[in-house]
Structure 1
Amino acid sequence: MAGPLVHDPIRRGGPERLVLALGSNLGERHASLTEAVDRIRAIPGVFVRAVSPFVETVAVRTTGPDTDAPAYLNGVLVGHTYLEPHRLLDATAAIEDELGRVRTERWGDRTIDIDIIEVGRRRVSDERLILPHPRAAERDFVLAPWLAVEPDATLTGHGRVADLLAGLESGSPA
């Protein structure tokens, strides 16, 4: 008699392009980001191609920029994955938990934040995950580091990352 069917979280076929954004504004920010990258590299089915330099940025709250809050270090990781998006979300949330992330306030201070920006050109929208990331096109702290490692990058449904960033810097949409 065969055993129970087990869902294989690793997709069949070739890997899909992966873009993750990382941020930290509490504790040893650089060490937290570096440890998060190391742990992402260790996820079976995830292959890291490049990690941007980390840039310091002002904290953003639901009400807008907050210069009184601790500044963030932000970066972007690009690579490929065989994981389905929700399985990847579970893996990155586990890394956040292991590195001491506490979720008490939406867009609050945190030791580590790992956002999935894109998995392939997938479009996902449910209670747990929206892809592509719904605010990535509006965040210079995602776009600038991403552009540093992928000069020809495009954000699904929004266009070239370089154009999106230029639009933010000029104060008008790209």
Structure 2
Amino acid sequence: MTTEIATLGGGCFWCTEAVFQQMAGITAVESGYTGGQVANPSYEQICEGTTGHAEVVRLSFDPAVVSFREILEVFFTIHDPTTLNRQGNDVGTQYRSVIYYHTPQQQETAKQVISEMANVWDAPIVTELSPAVTYYKAESYHQNYFRQNPLQGYCAFIVAPKVSKFRQTFRDRIKSEMT
């Protein structure tokens, strides 16, 4: 099996992690930070909004099962790419919409999908497109957060509806053990 990497920021990483953990072809999902100027940032530093990092998920995926384009189609469905530096009540540059590309092919695909999404959304797309840079894994308590805390308030009212939307919109892309 060949594996590729995708790194995406769509607001709080708990939301994006929970969705992509259910997607067929995704072999691993990890929450982390990238795009900033501070080495080994902590969650507390990220929350201050002064490090320049975005909360992201790093996906390992099997391109024979799911394409980067399909991943981006889900990405643009589960968050609002028209709000600058915010998703819902989460406000700050750490919650920006961003695609960190790992190859020239990913960059080109992302440009195409962003262009196509401009016809779907009523407001301009503000998703940042940047080359992948140094990535830092988030603290262990952030990993698998929704799975471990489904009844926590944020998870119940913010994450769960995004997971539900994914499951309803992309029924054919759910991992078989999740159906």
Normalising by structure 1, we get a TM-score of 0.43
Normalising by structure 2, we get a TM-score of 0.42
Instruction: Work out which of the two has the higher radius of gyration on C-alpha atoms and give 1 or 2.
Output: 1
Larger strand proportion, structure 1 or 2? Answer: 1
Larger helix proportion, structure 1 or 2? Answer: 2
